[in-house]
Structure 1
């Protein structure tokens, strides 16, 4: 495929690849980050928050499957919002999605570098962080099928690590460690404060939709990949939280490695099992970093192809990869990852972008049901109950992220404390200015940007197999 003469991605992916991408994007959330919710709501508060978030993501993914099969487009949520609410809201939704997918990789890379430094103290954590990020940008340049296979292998290894953890930990789960911690339970305030951390169990699963144009049979394969993914993660979330809390992992100061620490409470720090889980946990971080890089490159490509961003970002290499859409945001990510002190702020920015995009996508579903009742929907969610529950819980989650994370966090930059909300308002304000001054003049007609699901399954499909 020529670099600039064709704006279609290669159709290489099967359901197992989509499952690997969707689960792989998220799997690091089982290994770190979520456990800081113990400090906010105690064990009981975090468990309730995780139940709320699991219900939200399950209903959301079923709703999202309808959108992604109806509009199998690399832009994912930006495409759905544009079709439902017009080009400006398409751009705003795409920008929210970029918040999630551009800021999550450097946060994960920082944790990966710290993990490597933990295992090999002679390696500088910052150097490891930057090297890992650059390595996986390079890996993504080889083509989506090769990248998806690597993602699949890393995801399976990470799931093996979780399985070892469950088998080793379940026999030692102590119910009193879970239910006797009522002193730390802070009621609904603690539950709401824990929700932003519980979101880490599932953050970025929707990124698989950005590979929708590269799926061989979108009608059947997208629902299979998404639904199997959410079932995998829901099961892992229940077991991870149950075992960690039951082994006393919710006590004391939260660790950067909650799973190995919980096993060490039972087996001792020098035992082989905690070390095995710690080593395999590195593959969980790698899987998420690699998968989300796939996601941000496709989102950048789609926004540029639509005309929202400079057109060179939509160029496709001979390998069928949106190389500039991969490299340019990657430069921002590498620069951010090199500053480990930004990690907490990067996580919050990513979560804020995600929950904003989720709510806008669900609103798009309701609008499209009214606006285009006869649009082909190969997969139909139970309407309006399932998307209604998802939107209700999404709004609650948005409130929690805004109140308990965004509004309470500052970013220290050269000694200056900058409120995170100011950064968000600045970026969205700057984005709006760019849209009205430049982007709106370059947007492709909607008739060129959107095609039916039948159009993308043939004949290009046969030509690329």
Structure 2
């Protein structure tokens, strides 16, 4: 093992194809296969409209990210952005929230177990989730290139399976879809709240910002991939939500996995292919992609002194932050073995990440003053007024959807989210005052 512990040491091996595959794989999974049933319970057949609402939210949020990501290479992703464009303490706050929010890795493993049980009833859900998480932890320990190769194959099969589901399902949607008691069952507030929840699904493409240190040409490829992947995902999700909500009564599918609808519309051999190649691969591509990028801001935080430097050591051959990856793996086992509710995990992850994304959006305004030379040369350069408009709009949209989600939480979920945010803020302030934080420059021209 190497004692080198810097994002400078990461290998720049990811081109546009690999980034696109990672973005698609990261995105398809939690929304349709883990959280769609939650949204159906909230808003009924208007879940497809909630997907459109989510797409609008995501586009508003993504525009400021594209301005920044298209201007500089950020080796710590949004962690780097907040430290550069706002204040160093924001980076400390970010990394603690990031660590706690990504207990959500367990969400994908637990959902994978649910779909496995749809094929083979009677198995142990906890052991399946444990085995799934452990396998992809091992894959990512072998290096990001190995993980990307696995990702490419699974993403291709998954795309075919989703297309099959839509093609079989749309002709079977019952007439009068937009009428009756099953449409907008929770009113406008729940329709918008479900849209806010679904941003966790449709908005997954922007995580490739965290791979700036390993991208060959991040300022060109990352903005392109974010836009294209988001549009493709939004189309798939809206069509799949229509099938999920329109074939059976809402009472039969609310809170349930897609396997319930798939069993109704697909012949048995096609159903098995959909469950394995669609649902199960969607969840594992998300899990695989997340394990690849979620360590990067934590690694940079170890370099900068927000966390103990010993956590950031890398393997010699593949430059994997193996201690960080192992600790995240162990953290994610807690919800699996204690059988946390999927809805609770999902809502916590969305709310905490949205708080961070709001800060990220607002921070884009400061490109003009913090890196004026690089901003002037950016292919995405716009007037200062235009930059401010999109940054503020993205931040306000993010805060708005966060408040929508917060309003439908259970009291203990509200308290849990509040405790995480207060703890992260307190830690960041105290660590900064301790004198142990010395942030290196983790951005550069690309």
- Cα displacement (A) at 1:175: 4.2
* C-alpha separation in 2, matches of 1:49 and 1:380: 32
Give the TM-score normalised by structure 2: 0.89
* Equivalent runs, 1:13-412 vs 2, <5 Å: 13-28=14-29, 29-44=31-46, 46-100=47-101, 102-181=102-181, 184-248=184-248, 250-258=250-258, 260-266=259-265, 271-280=268-277, 281-318=279-316, 319-369=318-368, 372-376=371-375, 377-380=378-381, 383-405=387-409, 408-409=410-411
SS in 1 for 2:340: helix
SS in 2 for 1:222: helix
Aligned to 1:443: 437
* C-alpha separation in 1, matches of 2:392 and 2:275: 40
Asked whether the equivalents of residues 74 and 298 of structure 1 are also in contact (C-alpha less than 8 Å), the reply is yes
* C-alpha separation in 2, matches of 1:32 and 1:342: 11
Asked whether the equivalents of residues 92 and 301 of structure 2 are also in contact (C-alpha less than 8 Å), the reply is yes
Aligned to 1:416: none
Please list the CA deviations of residues 12-68 of structure 1 after superposition, one character each: whole Å capped at 9, or x if unmatched: 101111111112111112223123222222223x33332221011123223212222
SS in 2 for 1:177: coil
User: Which structure 2 residue ranges, 5 or more long, are not aligned?
Assistant: none
Asked whether the equivalents of residues 43 and 181 of structure 1 are also in contact (C-alpha less than 8 Å), the reply is no
Change in CA separation of 1:357 and 1:166 when aligned onto 2, cut-off 3 Å = same
SS in 1 for 2:81: helix
* C-alpha separation in 2, matches of 1:4 and 1:25: 28
- Cα displacement (A) at 1:287: 0.7
Asked whether the equivalents of residues 297 and 322 of structure 1 are also in contact (C-alpha less than 8 Å), the reply is yes
Asked whether the equivalents of residues 13 and 214 of structure 1 are also in contact (C-alpha less than 8 Å), the reply is yes
Please list the CA deviations of residues 265-322 of structure 1 after superposition, one character each: whole Å capped at 9, or x if unmatched: 445xx63333321222110110111111122211221221222111122222111111
Please list the CA deviations of residues 198-254 of structure 1 after superposition, one character each: whole Å capped at 9, or x if unmatched: 224325332211111100112222123222211221221222123323323644342
* C-alpha separation in 2, matches of 1:127 and 1:95: 29
Asked whether the equivalents of residues 143 and 320 of structure 2 are also in contact (C-alpha less than 8 Å), the reply is yes
Give the TM-score normalised by structure 1: 0.86
- Cα displacement (A) at 1:11: 0.5
Aligned to 1:415: none
Please list the CA deviations of residues 102-148 of structure 1 after superposition, one character each: whole Å capped at 9, or x if unmatched: 22211111111222233233531111111111111111011111112
SS in 2 for 1:176: coil
- Cα displacement (A) at 1:163: 0.8
* C-alpha separation in 1, matches of 2:306 and 2:264: 52
Asked whether the equivalents of residues 70 and 379 of structure 2 are also in contact (C-alpha less than 8 Å), the reply is yes
Asked whether the equivalents of residues 110 and 336 of structure 2 are also in contact (C-alpha less than 8 Å), the reply is yes
* C-alpha separation in 2, matches of 1:373 and 1:56: 28
* C-alpha separation in 1, matches of 2:204 and 2:100: 11
- Cα displacement (A) at 1:388: 4.2
* C-alpha separation in 2, matches of 1:393 and 1:5: 37
- Superposition CA RMSD, Å: 2.5
User: Which structure 1 residue ranges, 5 or more long, are not aligned?
Assistant: 410-418, 455-465
Change in CA separation of 1:279 and 1:256 when aligned onto 2, cut-off 3 Å = farther
Asked whether the equivalents of residues 309 and 439 of structure 1 are also in contact (C-alpha less than 8 Å), the reply is no
Asked whether the equivalents of residues 42 and 182 of structure 1 are also in contact (C-alpha less than 8 Å), the reply is yes
Please list the CA deviations of residues 184-207 of structure 1 after superposition, one character each: whole Å capped at 9, or x if unmatched: 544322223323432243253322
* C-alpha separation in 1, matches of 2:7 and 2:206: 23
- Cα displacement (A) at 1:351: 1.0
SS in 1 for 2:13: coil
The size of the alignment, in residue pairs, is 436
* C-alpha separation in 1, matches of 2:86 and 2:117: 47
SS in 1 for 2:95: helix
* C-alpha separation in 2, matches of 1:266 and 1:217: 43
* C-alpha separation in 2, matches of 1:316 and 1:241: 42
Asked whether the equivalents of residues 196 and 397 of structure 1 are also in contact (C-alpha less than 8 Å), the reply is yes
Asked whether the equivalents of residues 57 and 398 of structure 2 are also in contact (C-alpha less than 8 Å), the reply is yes
* C-alpha separation in 2, matches of 1:359 and 1:87: 17
Change in CA separation of 1:379 and 1:142 when aligned onto 2, cut-off 3 Å = farther
SS in 2 for 1:442: coil
